[in-house]
Amino acid sequence: MNSLKEILLGEIEDFRKVGHKFLDGELNLMQFKHESGGMGMYAHRGGKEFMIRFRIPSGVTDSDELNLIYDYAKKHSLGGIHFTTRQAIQLHGLTLDGACDLMKEGLEVNLFTRGAGGNFPRNVALSPLAGVDKEEEFDPTPYALAVGNHFLKKIYTYKLPRKLKVSFSNSFKDTAHCTVQDLGFVAVKKDGKEYFKVYIGGGLGNNPRKAIELDELIEAKDVLYYIEGMTNLFIAEGDYKNRAKARIRYIADRMGDEEFVNQFKLYTKAEKEKGGLELKLHPTEIKKEGIKTEVKDKRLIEQKQEGLYTVYLHPVGGQLKLEDLREILDTIDNFEDVEVRLAMTEGVYFRNLNGKEAETLLNITKKMGGEAEIYHSVACIGVPTCQIGIGNSQGLLFDIIDYFKGKDYSSDLMPRVHISGCTNSCGVHEIGKIGFTGKKKRVDDAVKDVFGLFINGDFTVENVRLGEFKGDMLPERIPEFLYELAMKLEDGNIKFEDYIKEDEFMNLVNKYSV
């Protein structure tokens, strides 16, 4: 029997032929996308350059792997790498053959692209501070990795209606967005035992939906039964004919919440009766000796391990320049037992640093991203790269950041902004305190690019809600709108959550709306 790698390597060479048919005009864009998504590759707008997405398992990586990715990017003369909103790394601007070659090179060192797009189980999301967070219930890292490996072992066999997204969070802060996923597991500790609170049938994008909370806790060891139960329910009840209605949340809409939950439980029960999927896992113990630091920095996080710290880096738009990555790697390669975790926010956490190491890393990364929340804003790749994008989300983000930096803004009263180039919500605008989504609108007798404004979304377990649409704005006026909002908060020393309840807030929105 061929190994997984042998099967996937063969797929790549078959796919390369498909790619050349696309370049030669024998396949149209949608035909190519149907083939390329499941390989973890997409064509840029224009169809001459390509992107590949490495599915970093639950965002867990290290300096060795990042050095490999750096080498790949350098070899292909790329300017940088892109951290995504689902803990993956994308390389943009590749040739077709260059992308296929990298897919093969990655496979040899367990860097997979298979199933990173298309109708497949996607990268399993995980709270990036799992294992070091002082406020966590317990560390779900081994469970997230086990589920990811479970998917990957048979990734080429899936025939799903559309993608399947699974997340694990280490607390009710829900930094892996379990409350708006197809299937989410939130860590809960009760009477000294590890459980998960389970959420099903959620999702963002067109017709977004909060997930349904199951009424009982499940034992942590049983997560794979719930994974298989949901997968089989999706295959049996998902819509294979209408792509627009093919996500799991539409099954819940059609059945109603109660029947959907009942069916999910029946499918899960059937898997439990088969048996053989129990997990016996333990998190890796961190034994590194700590050193305290007195440095104060918003990007510095004190871990639950005494004397150890995490440093957060947020390159604008998740776009980390290659020379900056090189400087970081040259620095952390000299540190002991450093972990790297990618976030759902296009950022990266460097973990298990002693105080001296943390100070060094804070110093060299200071110029690579800001400290205030507004500088940690999120944007999908958007126009002009994305084939289906409507708005230039990255362009808008850089305009916002430049505007605020030009004003020397440094307050945290202003929350981060989430920007999606279209209604697909890759920038998770629907669960941000401030969200924008690209669209077209007739303004003054001409069709123009605008961004719809969404306010007061939240993904935390206790407050999960979708943002409310408040109006459309021209992109060139959005930085000014946000800065005036920031000044209102600062002048009144008022929290964003309180200000948006006042009439004055809607007066401000109306001032900039079209």
List for the chain the helix, strand, coil content (%; round to 5).
40, 20, 40
Query: Residues 232, 330: one domain?
Result: no
CA pair distance 404, 399, nearest whole angstrom: 9
CA pair distance 498, 502, nearest whole angstrom: 7
pLDDT per position as a tens digit, 23-59 = 999 999 999 999 999 999 999 999 999 999 999 999 9
pLDDT per position as a tens digit, 430-444 = 999 999 999 999 999
Q: Which residues are within 8 A (CB) of 506 and not within 5 positions of it... i.e. 6 or more apart?
A: 470
Q: How far is CA 16 from CA 75, 100, 101, 347, in A?
A: 20, 7, 9, 32
Q: What angle do CA 246, 251, 256 make, to 5 degrees?
A: 155
Bridge partners of 50? 43, 94
Query: Residues 273, 403: one domain?
Result: no
CA pair distance 95, 93, nearest whole angstrom: 7
Q: What is the pLDDT of residue 2?
A: 80
- How do beta strands 183-190 and 166-169 pair? parallel
Domain total of the chain: 4
Query: Residues 397, 259: one domain?
Result: no
Query: Residues 108, 232: one domain?
Result: no
Query: Residues 25, 146: one domain?
Result: no
Contact in structure between 175 and 203 (CB atoms under 8 Å): no
CA pair distance 450, 437, nearest whole angstrom: 8
Contact in structure between 401 and 364 (CB atoms under 8 Å): no
Cis peptide bond prior to 283, omega within 30° of 0: no
Strand, helix or coil for residue 26? coil
Query: What is the chain's pLDDT, residue by residue, as a tens digit (514 residues)?
Result: 589 999 999 999 999 999 999 999 999 999 999 999 999 999 999 999 999 999 999 999 999 999 999 999 999 999 999 999 999 999 999 999 999 999 999 999 999 999 999 999 999 999 999 999 999 999 999 999 999 999 999 999 999 999 999 999 999 999 999 999 999 999 999 999 999 999 999 999 999 999 999 999 999 999 999 999 999 999 999 999 999 999 999 999 999 999 999 999 999 999 999 999 999 999 999 999 999 999 999 999 999 999 999 999 999 999 999 999 999 999 999 999 999 999 999 999 999 999 999 999 999 999 999 899 999 999 999 999 998 899 999 999 999 999 999 999 999 999 999 999 999 999 999 999 999 999 999 999 999 999 999 999 999 999 999 999 999 999 999 999 999 999 999 999 999 999 999 999 999 999 999 9
In a domain, 74, yes or no: yes
CA pair distance 207, 128, nearest whole angstrom: 28
Taking residue 259's Cβ as centre, other Cβ atoms within 10 Å add up to 12
Domain boundary among 316, 340, 365: 365
Which structure tokens are listed for 177? 């967005």
Query: Residues 156, 279: one domain?
Result: yes
DSSP category for residue 396? H
Q: What is the pLDDT of residue 216?
A: 96
Query: Residues 344, 261: one domain?
Result: no
Query: Residues 142, 192: one domain?
Result: yes
In a domain, 14, yes or no: yes
Q: Which of 261, 229, 242 is nearest to 164 (CA)?
A: 229
Domain boundary among 255, 285, 315: 285
* Long-range CB contacts for residues 316-319, cutoff 8 Å, separation at least 24: 316/369, 316/375, 316/397, 316/398, 316/401, 317/82, 317/346, 317/378, 317/379, 317/394, 317/397, 317/398, 318/82, 318/83, 318/84, 318/85, 318/346, 318/347, 318/378, 318/379, 319/80, 319/81, 319/82, 319/394
CATH code of the domain containing 462: 3.30.413.10
Q: What is the dihedral of CA 473, 477, 483, 484, to 10 degrees?
A: -80
Q: Which domain holds residue 412?
A: 373-512
* Long-range CB contacts for residues 213-222, cutoff 8 Å, separation at least 24: 214/261, 217/188, 217/190, 219/193, 219/194, 219/195, 220/138, 220/140, 220/143, 220/187, 220/194, 220/195, 220/196, 220/279, 220/281, 221/278, 221/279, 221/280, 221/281, 222/272, 222/277, 222/278, 222/279
| φ and ψ at residue 192, rounded to 5 degrees | 80, 5
Q: Which residue is associated with the tokens 């309180």?
A: 498
Q: Which of 353, 354, 352, 359 is nearest to 132 (CA)?
A: 352
In a domain, 122, yes or no: no
Sign of the torsion formed by the C-alpha atoms of 292, 296, 300 and 304: positive
CATH code of the domain containing 61: 3.90.480.20
Q: Which residues are within 8 A (CB) of 146 and not within 5 positions of it... i.e. 6 or more apart?
A: 223, 224, 279, 281
Contact in structure between 81 and 317 (CB atoms under 8 Å): no
In a domain, 293, yes or no: no
Query: Residues 258, 327: one domain?
Result: no
Query: Residues 278, 140: one domain?
Result: yes
Q: What is the pLDDT of residue 1?
A: 56
CA pair distance 248, 236, nearest whole angstrom: 11
CA pair distance 214, 256, nearest whole angstrom: 14
Query: Residues 395, 500: one domain?
Result: yes
In a domain, 37, yes or no: yes
Query: Residues 333, 397: one domain?
Result: no
Q: What angle do CA 341, 379, 48 make, to 5 degrees?
A: 95
Q: What is the pLDDT of residue 406?
A: 97
In a domain, 268, yes or no: yes
Contact in structure between 307 and 353 (CB atoms under 8 Å): no
In a domain, 6, yes or no: yes
In a domain, 296, yes or no: no
